[in-house]
Amino acid sequence: MNSVEDKKILAAFERLYAYLGQNEYRGYEFDDYLSSRIVKGLCFGNLFLQRVAVQVGKLNPVNCRPLLGIPKLESTKARGFIAKGLMEMYAATGDTDFLDEAERHLDWLLNNYSTGYSGLAWGNAFDFASRGGFFPKNKPTIVWSAHISETLAMAYEVTRKDRYATAIQEVGTFILQDLERHENKDGHCFAYAPGLLNLVHNSNMLGAAALLRSWQISPGEILMETAKSSYNWSISHQNDDGSWFYGAEDKYRWIDNFHTAYNIDCLLTGFQIAGESVVPWRVIEHSYEYWVRKFFDDDGGPRYFHDRAYPYDIQCASQAIETLYRCKQYFDGADQLAAKVLHWTLERMQKKNGAFRFQLRPFWVNNQESLHWGQATMISALGTAYKEAMTDACAASDIGPRQ
């Protein structure tokens, strides 16, 4: 990257962070229609109608949410990703204001978790319905909780504050004690949420990665063995070409960009913490090679599906940027592809108000400004990109890393 590109990343970060602050870290989501009493009443508690309502909210180009009584809401997952982006900016600049802001968001999370469970966990602020079932608001998910665990681990590494170590361990307790498991000879798969045993690979391995973070703080056989069993189950389902279906059930037989990236991230975490005995390198390499071959256009456009491009989605872009930069120490060209995806995203997806649009479709643009799906994941991706740019600049100038 050059100084012009570095300035573009910083400017994009600042514009987006200003947008988030102006909205007091609240926003709409593409899948929040069930937070409307009107819409919820018209669904009559029927899962199919609830799923239809969510899809209408996803595809409707007109923002009807104020008319439907849908408020802008806080998001636990968004707070986690915002804090992560700020932690990355602190690593890039050494500016303690970024660290202080990140801790403020983490403190909010430690005071706004889902109650009634054995450990710490987080969920949505609205009802949601999908192929996986009905998720009432505040029901914690393994995905939300594991992502927040990752940010807590970043904060603990920098600050060594006991409250973050304790929180990481309590996320592990939630995963161990509050989530059902599907078990067979290959290992086990964690439930997506309490009472919802959906056989999904990214959520299962996110849970395994969170257990290993807990193990790093307080090593214990049950944490390591449970994480290993979880990885084993999903690894046994990797397709021969290196790809992953979203899940193991017939209703989950699609292959997409950002869930594949999640899988690669989780596999890397397992490999980095526990080594080949938990995650064989060949599994990561096979998955990465498939991912970069199938999911990116020549100009860096992040394709949604392995066999077709549209819709171009902001989370495909943000997660690709994060995962590619993480992979650069292992795979030649990963950082160059990350830079191409970043350039493509800034040129096509960021709006004049600093927010990022939801999707580009063949004949129209979906300008929704989803909070956790787009804004929070992009603030994290931009923080990562800027840290990488500053690291490269320091290396080129023979300057030591920023403290």
Mean per-residue pLDDT, 146-174 = 98
CB 257 within 8 Å of CB 315: no
Q: Would you list the domain boundaries of the chain?
A: 33-72
β-strand 128-130 against 181-184: which pairing, if any? unpaired
For residue 2, what pLDDT is reported?
60
Q: Which two tokens stand for residue 283?
A: 């599994």
Q: What is the mean pLDDT of the chain?
A: 95
What is the reported pLDDT for 391?
85
CA distance 210 to 207: 5
Cα R_g (the chain), whole angstroms: 20
- pLDDT tier at 122, thresholds 50, 70, 90: very high
Backbone phi, psi, residue 199, to 5°? -90, 80
Q: What is the pLDDT of residue 3?
A: 79
Residue 181, both tokens: 């498991």
Q: Is the pLDDT of residue 194 over 90?
A: yes
pLDDT > 80? residue 398: no
- The pLDDT value given to residue 61: 85
Judged by DSSP in three states, 35 sits in helix
The pLDDT score that the predictor gives to residue 399 is 54
**Which ranges of 179-331 does DSSP label H, i.e. alpha helix?**
201-217, 221-235, 257-274, 281-294, 314-327
Q: Across residues 86-109, what is the average pLDDT?
A: 98
What would the two tokens of residue 60 be? 């409707």
Contact by Cβ (8 Å): 218, 168: no
Look up residue 387 and give its amino acid: K
| pLDDT tens profile 322-367 | 999 999 999 999 999 999 999 999 999 999 999 999 999 999 999 9
d(CA 142, CA 148): 10
| Banded pLDDT at 4 (limits 50, 70, 90) | confident
Contacts of 121 (CB under 8 A, 6+ apart): 113, 114, 140, 141, 144, 145, 171, 174, 178
Band of pLDDT at residue 400, cut at 50, 70 and 90: low
Note the pLDDT of residue 112. Answer: 97
pLDDT at 100 over 80: yes
Q: What is the pLDDT of residue 401?
A: 47
Mean pLDDT on 156-166: 98
Bridge partners for 130 per DSSP: 133
Label the pairing between strands 187-190 and 181-184.
Answer: antiparallel
Confidence band of 403 (pLDDT split at 50, 70, 90): very low
Backbone angles phi, psi at 296, to 5 degrees: -135, 135
pLDDT digits (tens, 9 = 90+) for 247-271: 999 999 999 999 999 999 999 999 9
What's the pLDDT at 5? 83
Instruction: Determine the distance from the C-alpha atom of residue 68 to the mean position of all C-alpha atoms in its chain, rounded to a whole number.
Output: 28
What is the rounded average pLDDT of the residues 369-398?
A: 90
pTM of the model: 0.95
By three-state DSSP, how is residue 179 classified? coil
Residue-wise pLDDT for 198-252, tens only, equals 999 999 999 999 999 999 999 999 999 999 999 999 999 999 999 999 999 999 9
Residue 396 has pLDDT above 70, yes or no: no
pLDDT-derived band at 320 (thresholds 50, 70, 90) equals very high
What mean pLDDT is predicted for residues 379-399?
85
pLDDT band of residue 296 (cuts 50, 70, 90) is: very high
